[in-house]
């Protein structure tokens, strides 16, 4: 089974990249399922039912999120009724929404997706290292293929989490920092790993935001409005090939696909 995992979608340019590039990437890489982190899809901060619908219509099967999941208040009542949209698993019991889900796509083996949020330099949440282990045990009874989105700031936290899960999940891919790393690998137990999948959106920017205001913030320490940039749009992520009988990854490949800005997309 081949799964395309897409790094953080930023604003309208990122959503446009999804609409235009995901169908092509599905065909080129013979992709069976697409997972994308969408927590920055609504104006660069948060996600709304409308932006989620746009991402789903572009060919994405599952949307993961992170610390910005609550930025747009209209998403809160939407979370319980949309099983394809996940929030981090390691929120306290009773938090609205779900942190994992098993998916059954037509003519494809079942696969599970788990969304986690780190704690180092991040808003306070429950310990992801403790939350994930019983959840993986539960999911493995129903699906051999398990993909984890580790939405975290610290590289050490992402790597340690993936090492903990080696041999128990198919892949751990990092999101949040918006800088694609070049450390894609398959650990000895068969778990694919990439520390950060990058981001999908405008790369003539500072992490997807307009350059000028971010520079001014660093120069003056004064508040600035960080608008979403527009130029050099890339779709970044990773394609992982998984043996469906064992759940072990057999191949992992980084991608960074440019959106053709000359065609009026």
List Cβ neighbours of 231 (8 Å cut-off, separation of 6 or more). 202, 203, 204, 205, 261
d(CA 144, CA 168): 9
List Cβ neighbours of 241 (8 Å cut-off, separation of 6 or more). 1, 2, 249, 250, 251, 252
Within 13 Å of residue 214, how many CA atoms lie on the same side as its CB?
12
Return the SS3 of 111.
Answer: strand
Catalytic residue numbers read 68
Distances (CA, A) of 72 to 42, 78, 240: 8, 11, 31
Return the SS3 of 152.
Answer: coil
d(CA 82, CA 102): 13
Closest CA relative to residue 67, chosen from 42, 43, 41, 40: 40
Asked if residue 132 lies in contact with residue 150, where contact means CB atoms within 8 angstroms, the answer is no
Helix (H) or strand (E) holding 242: strand 233-242
Instruction: Look up residue 33 and give its two tokens.
Output: 């399922």
């Amino acid at each position: 089974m081949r799964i395309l995992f897409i790094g953080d979608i930023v604003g309208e340019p990122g959503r446009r990249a999804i609409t235009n590039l995901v169908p092509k990437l599905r065909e080129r890489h013979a992709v069976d399922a697409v997972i994308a982190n969408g927590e920055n899809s609504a104006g660069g901060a948060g996600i709304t039912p409308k932006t989620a619908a746009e991402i789903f219509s572009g060919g994405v099967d599952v949307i993961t999120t992170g610390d910005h999941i609550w930025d747009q208040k209209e998403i809160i009542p939407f979370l319980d009724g949309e099983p394809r949209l996940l929030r981090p698993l390691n929120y306290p019991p009773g938090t609205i929404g779900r942190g994992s889900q098993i998916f059954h796509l037509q003519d494809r083996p079942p696969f599970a997706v788990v969304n986690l949020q780190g704690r180092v330099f991040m808003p306070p949440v429950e310990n992801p290292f403790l939350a994930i282990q019983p959840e993986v045990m539960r999911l493995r009874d129903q699906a051999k293929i398990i993909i984890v989105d580790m939405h975290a700031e610290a590289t050490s936290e992402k790597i340690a989490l993936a090492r903990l899960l080696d041999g128990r999940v198919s892949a751990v891919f990092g999101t949040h920092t918006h800088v694609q790393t070049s450390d894609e690998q398959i650990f000895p137990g068969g778990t694919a790993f990439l520390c950060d999948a990058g981001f999908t959106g405008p790369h003539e920017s500072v992490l997807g935001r307009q350059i000028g205001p971010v520079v001014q913030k660093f120069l003056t320490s004064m508040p600035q409005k960080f608008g979403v940039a527009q130029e050099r749009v890339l779709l970044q992520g990773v394609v992982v090939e998984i043996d469906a009988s064992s759940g072990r990854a057999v191949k992992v490949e980084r991608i960074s696909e440019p959106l053709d800005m000359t065609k009026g997309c």
